[in-house]
């Protein structure tokens, strides 16, 4: 794989003092283990994650993962295109909600 920078979760920062076990699981399973497997690049994992969150309407996690995708080398244009593509297969309400999150994030942090 190409650029495979270490992926780090933020569970301990968000909930370490309030829900330490959830924080530990968040950082150690999806991030430390799965996100750092070599079979897919972080960039590919980010695109997949944004697509799944969009398809399922999980907009509360989308801002984090859109920003994470940018850090993993996905461009804003590619993310907008991915959300547009997913909208056609997953549903208009999910796509429009996801695009609203992307617009807010990308226009407030150009």
Residues 51 and 93 in one domain: yes
Position 2 in a domain: no
The count of C-alpha atoms lying within 13 angstroms of the C-alpha of 19, restricted to the half-sphere facing its C-beta, is: 9
Q: pLDDT tens digits for 27-59?
A: 888 888 888 899 999 999 999 999 999 999 999
pLDDT at 1: 44
Who wins on pLDDT, 95 or 14? 95
Position 3 in a domain: no
Q: Which of 87, 108, 88 is nearest to 98 (CA)?
A: 87
Query: How many domains does the chain contain in total?
Result: 2
Residues 16 and 50 in one domain: no
Residues of the domain holding 48? 41-110
Residues 45 and 31 in one domain: no
């Amino acid at each position: 794989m190409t650029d495979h920078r270490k992926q780090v979760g933020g569970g301990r920062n968000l909930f370490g003092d309030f829900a330490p076990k959830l924080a530990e699981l968040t950082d150690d399973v999806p991030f430390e283990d799965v996100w750092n497997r070599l079979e897919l690049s972080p960039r590919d994992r980010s695109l997949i994650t944004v697509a799944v969150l969009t398809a399922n309407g999980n907009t509360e996690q989308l801002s984090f993962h859109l920003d994470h995708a940018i850090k993993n080398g996905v461009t804003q244009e590619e993310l907008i295109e991915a959300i547009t593509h997913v909208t056609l297969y997953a549903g208009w309400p999910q796509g429009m909600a996801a695009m609203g999150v992307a617009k807010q994030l990308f226009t407030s942090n150009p």
